[in-house]
């Protein structure tokens, strides 16, 4: 018995030595480049390290939305006569979007960070410029002063949607959220020391973590010492500076495009069979009989009841039923909310998203034009591009602005003359307000549409049902706000369009067949 144990011990030791020497018990064949034949992840052949392909993780607060084709625009008669949402088939790629609208408590967290990081008086304008306008609740002929004082600050309203926020403020919130999520990811993984957050919150000012500044080497922070570090430099030495291609950091949080928002609001995924396991069925396109609102027509086809169900007669959104009727009568309240309701109230749609119809209208990224639906690309349509580049005028090491973000400037049109896909950096008014279209907007004279007009979607607690349809669209100037207007964030998805599993792939793959010779 002793000999068996002793021999087993020596065998284990020998295997352990082989494991330490070669990196594994059985020497693994190195992955080679298909174009050069050089080894990847080999310091003796250039040290080009390639991490195994993996999908983007779902960021905090987000829900994955599988992309696809849909008919964007009106779902019923255009009773407003706007002709600004003519139906058109488009495709959006997969993306992430917030499960709920951004709530008061989330926005107060943002202000808490700003007040601590930019506590120096020189940043007073930065901090004050982020505060929501609580005066949006006021009206000359209504008593709404309690909402002015308490809606944003009182804990009773913690998880009610933040309102009084301009498009620019919502855009800046998304940048802040990107940085905080990525900073936390690096700290948790050990690539940044946890004390960097304390240093930042103690009046860090310009020297705060910004994702782009970090990736461009303009921000170092306090490097950490990760316990298990797979990151190596060209010489095979461990490195603590993370690169985006390492797959550790998240893409940017941002406002969703109008097409993304509308697609997510329809939540048509429930109508489609699950992929892969049953290829005998194909998902129905659902473009002919499209639902009017963001919830599935469960037992109701918008004309008549088709089967009995618990939802019949229930209000599935927070909206204004009619003039003077915001929540019904005592003992029989309909939507049970006179003002915005908590962000997780009412029933989620097919993607699990709350309040895509009603509660508060929401900012989206797009600049408003009435005819954009017919002009924009049919893949990821969007109006609002201003193509920019990093401002290198200050030289390396001086690329950040006063609040720590990378400075950018619009591309010079003179450098784009040889390009075929675009020739102007400023594309907001492309084919609708520029010399090519021969359309000119006399803002304040003949129209209220300008290059600062941003699309809002979804309808609010103060709107009639027409505006709750995902296809309905209006606009507000990007520097204005309202008591019925909030927002939610989105994030681009990289990887397989069907989901976030590493087992999924883009494209169809078939068994390889041997060719007859």
* pLDDT grade for 119, boundaries at 50, 70 and 90: very high
What's the burial of 170, exposed, middle or buried (CB within 10 Å: 0-12/13-18/19+)?
buried
Query: Could you tell me if 509 and 188 are in contact, meaning their C-beta atoms sit under 8 angstroms apart?
Result: no
pLDDT of residue 503: 63
Average pLDDT of 194-198? 95
Write the pLDDT tens digit of every residue in 472-500: 999 999 999 999 999 999 999 988 787 76
- How far is residue 440's CA from residue 428's CA, in Å, rounded to a whole number? 13
Residues 125 and 257 in one domain: yes
Among 465, 384, 464, 363, CA closest to 430: 384
Joined together, the tokens standing for residue 461 give 């607690």
- How far is residue 299's CA from residue 121's CA, in Å, rounded to a whole number? 59
Is 517 a domain residue? no
What is the CATH number for 471? 3.90.1580.10
**The pLDDT of residue 14 is above 90:** no
CB-CB neighbours of 320 under 10 Å = 20
In the chain, how many domains are there? Answer: 2
Is 516 a domain residue? no
Residues 248 and 388 in one domain: yes
Joined together, the tokens standing for residue 56 give 């983007």
Residues 163 and 248 in one domain: yes
CB-CB neighbours of 120 under 10 Å = 13
Joined together, the tokens standing for residue 286 give 């659902």
Is 30 a domain residue? yes
Percent pLDDT > 70 in the chain is 84
Residues 273 and 330 in one domain: yes
pLDDT of residue 278: 47
- How far is residue 448's CA from residue 476's CA, in Å, rounded to a whole number? 9
Is 58 a domain residue? yes
- The residue among 39 and 123 whose pLDDT is bigger is 123
Query: Could you tell me if 85 and 167 are in contact, meaning their C-beta atoms sit under 8 angstroms apart?
Result: no
Is 230 a domain residue? yes
Joined together, the tokens standing for residue 501 give 């599993």
Question: How many residues make up the chain in this entry?
Answer: 517
- How far is residue 163's CA from residue 322's CA, in Å, rounded to a whole number? 23
What's the burial of 256, exposed, middle or buried (CB within 10 Å: 0-12/13-18/19+)?
buried
CB-CB neighbours of 169 under 10 Å = 22
- Radius of gyration over every alpha carbon of the chain, rounded to an integer in angstroms: 27
What residue has token string 């490195």?
239
Q: Which residues pair with 228 in a beta bridge?
A: none
Residues 39 and 185 in one domain: no
Write the pLDDT tens digit of every residue in 52-95: 666 678 999 999 999 999 989 987 777 777 789 888 999 999 99
Residues 495 and 457 in one domain: yes
Residues 182 and 209 in one domain: yes
What's the burial of 179, exposed, middle or buried (CB within 10 Å: 0-12/13-18/19+)?
buried
Give the N- to C-terminal CA distance of the chain in Å, as an integer. 60
**The pLDDT of residue 144 is above 90:** yes
Is 515 a domain residue? no
107 alpha carbon, distance to own chain's centre: 16
pLDDT of residue 292: 82
**The pLDDT of residue 291 is above 60:** yes
Residues 6+ apart with CB under 8 A from 467: 319, 361, 458, 459, 460, 474
pLDDT of residue 9: 39
Average pLDDT of 314-330? 89
86 alpha carbon, distance to own chain's centre: 26
**The pLDDT of residue 310 is above 60:** no
Residues 211 and 324 in one domain: yes
**The pLDDT of residue 296 is above 50:** yes
Average pLDDT of 213-230? 93
Residues 33 and 129 in one domain: no
Is 510 a domain residue? no
Residues 331 and 413 in one domain: yes
Write the pLDDT tens digit of every residue in 15-52: 444 444 444 333 467 788 888 888 887 778 777 877 66
SS3 content of the chain, % helix, strand, coil (to 5): 25, 15, 65
Q: Which of 125-139, 233-247, 310-324 has the highest mean pLDDT?
A: 125-139
134-143, 293-302, 337-346: segment of lowest average pLDDT: 293-302
* pLDDT grade for 421, boundaries at 50, 70 and 90: very high
- How far is residue 508's CA from residue 418's CA, in Å, rounded to a whole number? 36
What's the burial of 416, exposed, middle or buried (CB within 10 Å: 0-12/13-18/19+)?
middle
- The residue among 363 and 374 whose pLDDT is bigger is 363
Q: Give the range of the structural domain holding residue 15, as residue numbers without chain letter.
A: 10-45
For the chain, the average pLDDT equals 85
Among 178, 214, 468, 208, CA closest to 320: 468
Average pLDDT of 397-416? 96
pLDDT of residue 433: 87
Is 3 a domain residue? no
Among 115, 154, 179, CA closest to 489: 179
Percent pLDDT > 90 in the chain is 60
- The residue among 53 and 291 whose pLDDT is bigger is 291
Among 98, 59, 5, CA closest to 348: 98
Residues 37 and 56 in one domain: no
- The residue among 508 and 206 whose pLDDT is bigger is 206
Write the pLDDT tens digit of every residue in 223-282: 999 988 888 888 888 899 999 988 899 999 999 999 999 999 998 764 444 444 544 444
Residues 400 and 487 in one domain: yes
């Amino acid at each position: 018995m002793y000999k068996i144990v002793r021999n087993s011990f020596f065998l284990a030791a020998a295997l352990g030595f082989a494991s330490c020497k070669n990196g594994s018990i059985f020497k693994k064949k190195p992955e080679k480049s298909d174009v050069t034949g050089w080894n990847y992840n080999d310091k003796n052949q250039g040290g080009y390290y390639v991490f195994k392909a993996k999908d983007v993780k779902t960021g905090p607060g987000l829900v994955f939305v599988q992309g696809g084709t849909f008919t964007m625009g009106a779902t019923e008669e255009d009773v407003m006569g706007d002709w600004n949402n003519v139906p058109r088939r488009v495709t959006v790629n997969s993306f992430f979007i917030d499960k709920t609208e951004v709530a008061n408590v989330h926005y107060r967290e943002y202000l808490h960070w700003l007040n601590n990081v930019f506590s120096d008086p020189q940043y007073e304008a930065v901090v004050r410029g982020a505060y929501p306008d609580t005066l949006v609740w006021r009206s000359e002929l209504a008593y709404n002063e309690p909402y002015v004082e308490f809606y944003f600050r009182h804990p009773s309203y913690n998880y009610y949607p933040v309102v009084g926020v301009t498009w620019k403020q919502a855009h800046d919130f998304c940048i802040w959220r990107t940085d905080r999520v990525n900073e936390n990811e690096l700290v948790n993984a050990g690539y940044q020391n946890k004390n960097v957050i304390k240093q930042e919150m103690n009046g860090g000012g310009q020297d705060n973590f910004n994702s782009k500044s970090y990736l461009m080497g303009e921000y170092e922070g306090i490097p950490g010492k990760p316990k298990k570090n797979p990151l190596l430099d060209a010489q095979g030495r461990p490195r603590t500076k993370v690169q985006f291609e390492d797959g550790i950091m998240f893409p940017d949080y941002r406002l969703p495009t109008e097409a993304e928002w509308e697609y997510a609001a329809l939540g048509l995924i429930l109508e489609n069979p699950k992929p892969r396991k049953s290829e005998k069925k194909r998902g129905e396109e659902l473009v002919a009989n499209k639902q009017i609102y963001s919830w599935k027509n469960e037992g109701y086809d918008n004309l008549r009841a088709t089967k009995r169900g618990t939802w019949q007669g229930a209000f599935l959104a927070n909206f204004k039923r009619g003039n003077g009727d915001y929540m019904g009568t005592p003992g029989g309240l309909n939507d049970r909310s006179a003002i915005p309701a908590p962000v997780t109230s009412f029933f989620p749609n097919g993607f699990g998203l709350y309040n895509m119809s009603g509660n508060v209208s929401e900012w989206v990224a797009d600049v408003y034009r009435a005819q954009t639906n017919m002009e924009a690309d049919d893949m990821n349509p969007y109006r609002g591009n201003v193509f920019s580049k990093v401002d290198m005028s200050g030289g390396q090491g001086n690329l950040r602005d006063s609040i720590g973000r990378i400075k950018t400037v619009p591309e010079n049109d003179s450098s784009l003359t040889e390009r075929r896909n675009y020739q102007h950096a400023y594309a907001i008014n492309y084919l609708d307000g520029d010399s090519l279209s021969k359309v000119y907007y006399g803002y304040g004279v003949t129209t209220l549409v300008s290059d600062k007009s941003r699309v809002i979607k979804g309808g609010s607690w103060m709107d009639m049902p027409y505006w709750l349809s995902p296809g309905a669209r209006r606009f507000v100037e990007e520097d204005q706000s309202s008591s019925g207007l909030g927002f939610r964030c989105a994030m681009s998805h990289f990887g397989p369009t069907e989901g976030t599993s590493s087992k999924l792939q883009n494209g169809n793959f078939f068994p390889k067949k041997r060719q007859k010779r």
